A and B are shown apart, each in its own frame.
Chain A
């Protein structure tokens, strides 16, 4: 029986991009369904009734939600190539720690930056602190995963398409504060087709943010 893999997607979502990179790395064929988050489909509400969020991976009819959980699922099921997680339990715990850190820190803070409200300055500082912490963690490695990309790279790289938007709305430069991180992002896109194909152009994200802000009345 051939596998049926469907991804409920929303193209600007960094969380959805993670899943696309993983599916790309593993060479998995899948159907991509775009969701309108202001008008959620019956399928989405059925497949993720608890959070009603994307991404949702539907594998042979069974839904999996939460991007890091989806990544671990993909890694376990399609374990024939491109491992996303280290095999050593301690290394694995560290990779999961940093992926979880990215989950806790980047999205919310980044949002406060582009929203541009009273807490923007505070958010900019927080964002830079987080990115610097991640840059320190990267160190001199090519990728967070070492010689190849791993779950931490996959978790973080999508947010780099949002950097231009953060910088423009926040009026600051991420490259100035974190040159190594920016170089790492470039490296990911240049060396991994799964990454370059999953990530929209930063200007597309910027246009999306502009539209979203209008819609939110900001």
Chain B
């Protein structure tokens, strides 16, 4: 598929989880019009997502678009195949999904995309970030925590090569969930979500990882988000997953587990020392 052919706005979500590791092959199969037939959808031309169903970072963007009732074109990238020219062209700095296109303008980095979406589509009732400056800063802080601390630990747990690595990573992940349980208490103020009554920035940042959290947990034979240590998060996870804007975006856990094995093998192969 030529780059020219896919020249109009394509949101390409490139998994930021591929960050830091070596070659990630992504191949654009076909542009498919996302079948997001929802009530009250605003028809949006030139709104596209380039990404993959398995990437939590891509999921974040889709959840945000669903919350805002924005229709988009969904272009699926195969993380197990070669990187497309379009991806390389639209995100030359990181070469990762998601890449979000709006009226031919590409935007990269999922949390930055979320803020953009929140600022552009303001007619919807759901605001993703709070308007109060202090609350806004707290939401940003916790989303950054998810990306800078929690996710890397989760990733180390997924690709941990030795028992020692896995043990250390598991301890970090569990500690992270306890910290996030505390954050939930602070931010939710007794309501169902980090964002209060509605799903917000932190809900999306953390909630997008739920599929992987379950897959990795099964792999380690542990519930990473446990009733014992994090009862509020357990409840929150159920509410989040069942939400209208979320339920069609979070992937089937078995499908994800299968993909996880393939991805793990690919990453370990790339990281293995060459002879």
Residues of A within 8 A of B (CB): 50, 59, 62, 64-66, 69-70, 72-73, 76-77, 89-90, 92-94, 96-97, 100-101, 133
Q: Mark B83-119, 1 if CB is under 8 A from A, else 0.
A: 0000000000100000000100101110011011001
Q: Is the CB of B119 within 8 A of A73?
A: no
Shortest beta-carbon distance from B108 to chain A in Å: 6
When distances are taken between beta carbons in the complex, the residues of chain A under 8 Å from B140 are 66, 69, 72
Please name the residue on chain A nearest to B105 by beta carbon. A90
Subset of 29 A-B contacts with CB under 8 Å: A50-B179, A64-B134, A64-B137, A64-B141, A66-B140, A69-B137, A69-B144, A70-B137, A72-B136, A72-B137, A72-B140, A73-B136, A73-B137, A76-B136, A77-B133, A89-B119, A89-B120, A90-B102, A90-B107, A92-B115, A93-B112, A93-B113, A93-B115, A94-B107, A97-B107, A97-B112, A100-B109, A100-B112, A101-B93
Shortest beta-carbon distance from A7 to chain B in Å: 15
When distances are taken between beta carbons in the complex, the residues of chain B under 8 Å from A70 are 137
Identify whether the interface residues of B are mostly helix, strand, loop, or mixed.
helix
When distances are taken between beta carbons in the complex, the residues of chain A under 8 Å from B179 are 50
Please name the residue on chain A nearest to B107 by beta carbon. A93
Known: A50-B179, A72-B140, A101-B93. A90 touches B134 (CB 8 A): no
Interface membership of B27, Cβ < 8 A: no
- Give A59 to B138 CA distance when docked, in angstroms: 13
Q: Is the CB of A93 within 8 A of B133?
A: no
Shortest beta-carbon distance from B174 to chain A in Å: 16
Nearest 5 interchain pairs by C-beta: A89-B119, A76-B133, A93-B116, A73-B137, A69-B140
Q: Is the CB of B134 within 8 A of A73?
A: yes
When distances are taken between beta carbons in the complex, the residues of chain A under 8 Å from B105 are 90
- Give A62 to B137 CA distance when docked, in angstroms: 11
- Give A133 to B145 CA distance when docked, in angstroms: 27
- Give A84 to B102 CA distance when docked, in angstroms: 24
Please name the residue on chain B nearest to A90 by beta carbon. B105
Please name the residue on chain A nearest to B131 by beta carbon. A76
When distances are taken between beta carbons in the complex, the residues of chain B under 8 Å from A62 are 134
When distances are taken between beta carbons in the complex, the residues of chain A under 8 Å from B141 are 64-66, 69
Interface size class of B (residues with CB under 8 A): 20 to 34
- Identify the interface centre among B107, B136, B141: most chain A CB within 10 Å of its CB: B141
Shortest beta-carbon distance from A48 to chain B in Å: 10
When distances are taken between beta carbons in the complex, the residues of chain B under 8 Å from A93 are 107, 112-113, 115-116
When distances are taken between beta carbons in the complex, the residues of chain A under 8 Å from B115 are 92-93, 96
Q: Which of B109, B120, B144, B145 contacts A97 (CB 8 A)?
A: B109
Q: Is the CB of A97 within 8 A of B102?
A: no
Please name the residue on chain B nearest to A88 by beta carbon. B119
Shortest beta-carbon distance from B44 to chain A in Å: 15
When distances are taken between beta carbons in the complex, the residues of chain B under 8 Å from A94 are 107
- Identify the interface centre among A65, A73, A89, A101: most chain B CB within 10 Å of its CB: A89
Shortest beta-carbon distance from B155 to chain A in Å: 16
- Give A96 to B116 CA distance when docked, in angstroms: 10
When distances are taken between beta carbons in the complex, the residues of chain B under 8 Å from A69 are 137, 140-141, 144
Q: Mark B144-173, 1 if CB is under 8 A from A, else 0.
A: 110000000000000000000000000000
Shortest beta-carbon distance from B53 to chain A in Å: 24
- Give A59 to B93 CA distance when docked, in angstroms: 36
Known contacts A66-B140, A89-B120; 5 additional CB pairs below 8 A are A69-B144, A72-B140, A73-B134, A77-B133, A89-B119
- Give A93 to B102 CA distance when docked, in angstroms: 12
When distances are taken between beta carbons in the complex, the residues of chain B under 8 Å from A76 are 133, 136
Shortest beta-carbon distance from B65 to chain A in Å: 15
Shortest beta-carbon distance from B117 to chain A in Å: 9
- Give A124 to B36 CA distance when docked, in angstroms: 48
Known: A97-B112, A101-B93. A92 touches B137 (CB 8 A): no
- Give A59 to B108 CA distance when docked, in angstroms: 31
When distances are taken between beta carbons in the complex, the residues of chain B under 8 Å from A66 are 140-141, 144
- Identify the interface centre among B108, B134, B137: most chain A CB within 10 Å of its CB: B137
Shortest beta-carbon distance from A96 to chain B in Å: 5
When distances are taken between beta carbons in the complex, the residues of chain A under 8 Å from B116 are 89-90, 92-93
Q: Which of A65, A73, A92, A97 contacts B133 (CB 8 A)?
A: A73
Shortest beta-carbon distance from B151 to chain A in Å: 14
